[in-house]
Amino acid sequence: MTGGQLSVVSCQWAVATWYHGRATGNERGRVWDDRESSFKKRDLGEATVETLLLIDLQNDFLPGGALAVPGGDQTIPVANRLMPRFDLVVATQDWHPANHGSFASQHPGRRVGDIIQLDGLEQMLWPDHCVQGTAGADFSPDLQRDRIRAVFHKGTDPRIDSYSGFYDNSHRRSTGLAEYLREQGVGNLYIMGLATDYCVKFTVLDAVAAGFRVSVVTDGCRAVNLKEGDDQRAFEAMRAAGADLVTSDKMRG
């Protein structure tokens, strides 16, 4: 990971804090510098930065992980193949404190799969997963992470879960992702990752609502599928909201 180029964004409280190291002297750095001086003049219709958003390609969601998504590892080669074609690559990480309220372990007598009320919201209980700083929370070692320009953390507040990369599940707090993407002049936003029926779906719905032109790379996604067909229902909900469904072999480049 090239520290100078990577932004890590963590929104634990009301105000998102983020930073980025600006690359200079390479192609991407020049794109950024050009845009920085002019993005305020643009509206989204004029934005042109082709962007790939990778959702939660983390060890705990891959086979052998704490919350393994069936076939989750098959998304990694798709991400690696697509990243070089994009102006900007951004990723999310599920990034929980060890006492996160979505963990069944935090609720005596409850089991994984139970639905509880957590701070006034319905919450599915999961196994402990993606605990901050653990190997399970890290990106897959097979992912070409040096191409990722910025990383946004979600799920950092123990009292509420965040399936979307943009907001927590009650839309109380932004991660800063939408503002960041607008600032970069993002035009078409391609989204893929894990899992189709949770974090990909809710990220896509928020991205469409935020006004981005969104395409979902379906072969770059895998689903939990607690109920058979959850993946197809999730794709249909994304399409109905206004996202295009595409496969990587039909994409440019």
Binding site for Zn ion (CB under 5 A): 94, 155
Q: At what angle do helices 230-241 and 201-209 cross, to 10 degrees?
A: 10
The nearest distance, CB 101 to Zn ion, in angstroms, is: 10
The nearest distance, CB 170 to Zn ion, in angstroms, is: 15
The nearest distance, CB 15 to Zn ion, in angstroms, is: 22
- Residue linked to tokens 């919450």: 123
The nearest distance, CB 78 to Zn ion, in angstroms, is: 22
Could you tell me the two tokens for 13? 């409280």
Cβ-based nearer residue to Zn ion, 158 or 187: 158
Per the annotation, the verdict on 154 as an active-site residue is: yes
Cβ-based nearer residue to Zn ion, 94 or 157: 94
Cβ count near 188 (within 10 Å): 17
Cβ-based nearer residue to Zn ion, 155 or 187: 155
From the list 199, 206, 221, 231, the catalytic residue is 199
Q: What angle do CA 237, 47, 146 make, to 5 degrees?
A: 80
From the list 60, 94, 154, 201, the catalytic residue is 154
* List of residues 6+ apart from 103 with CB closer than 8 A: 96, 125, 126, 127, 128, 129
Per the annotation, the verdict on 221 as an active-site residue is: no
d(CA 131, CA 99): 9
Could you tell me the two tokens for 171? 């839309």
Cβ-based nearer residue to Zn ion, 153 or 182: 153
Q: Of all residues in this chain, which one has the CB nearest to Zn ion in the complex?
A: 94
- HSE-CB at 117 with a 13 A cutoff on CA atoms is 2
Cβ-based nearer residue to Zn ion, 155 or 165: 155
Q: Where are the alpha helices (DSSP H) in the chain?
A: 27-38, 75-82, 177-183, 201-209, 230-241
From the list 56, 128, 197, 206, the catalytic residue is 56
The nearest distance, CB 204 to Zn ion, in angstroms, is: 17
Characterize the bridge pairing of strands 150-154 and 88-94: parallel
d(CA 54, CA 46): 23
Please give the positions annotated as active site: 56, 154, 199
